[in-house]
Amino acid sequence: MARITIDGRAFSCNRAHITERGEVLIDDMRQEDSVQGRVEVHIEGVLQNLEVAGDVHCGMIAGNVDAGKSVTCGAVGGNVDAGTSVICGAVGGNVDAGTSVTCGDVHGNVDAGSGVTINRQG
């Protein structure tokens, strides 16, 4: 379980989802207030899954990361899916990006609209 702060509101959860309409779902439960514009999210600990309509900048994710735009993060235990680019550490599953991918070892498949760079670890 991770501690996540979304625009100043703190939650303890395994899964966070911010929809295109700005709705915040924590462990699949809709929260009262929505968010607008650029949303600041801070994660302490390891989050199981993160799904965001916009850009994602995060540390390590145990499960999957799904972003409508770009993903920049540390290691990901599951899959990474981005509407544009992906820059990350090692990935335990697949990587799917609309444009480019730059990451560490990938234990699944890589699908990118343009360039792919894999920085294999020893």
pLDDT score, position 21: 87
Per-residue pLDDT of the chain in tens (122 residues, 90 and over written 9): 888 888 888 999 999 998 888 899 999 999 988 888 777 777 888 888 888 888 888 888 999 999 999 999 999 999 999 999 999 999 999 999 999 999 999 999 999 999 999 987 65
* CB atoms near residue 99 (< 10 Å): 14
Domain count across the chain: 1
Question: 66 in a domain, yes or no?
Answer: yes
119 in any annotated domain: no
- Domain with 87 in it: 2-113
Given this model, what pLDDT does residue 2 score?
A: 87
- Residue 118 inside a domain? The answer is no
The verdict on residue 100 lying in a domain is yes
Quick check: is 93 in a domain?
yes
Give a yes or no: residue 120 inside a domain: no
Q: Count the alpha carbons within 13 Å of 104 in the hemisphere toward its beta carbon.
A: 14
Predicted local confidence at residue 72, as pLDDT = 93
Residue 6: which residues within 8 A CB-CB, separation 6 or more?
A: 16, 18, 24, 35, 39, 40, 41
Q: Is residue 28 part of a domain?
A: yes
Q: Which value, to the nearest 10 degrees, does the dihedral of the CA atoms of residues 49, 108, 60, 120 take?
A: -170
Please indicate, yes or no, if residue 37 is contained in any of the structural domains: yes
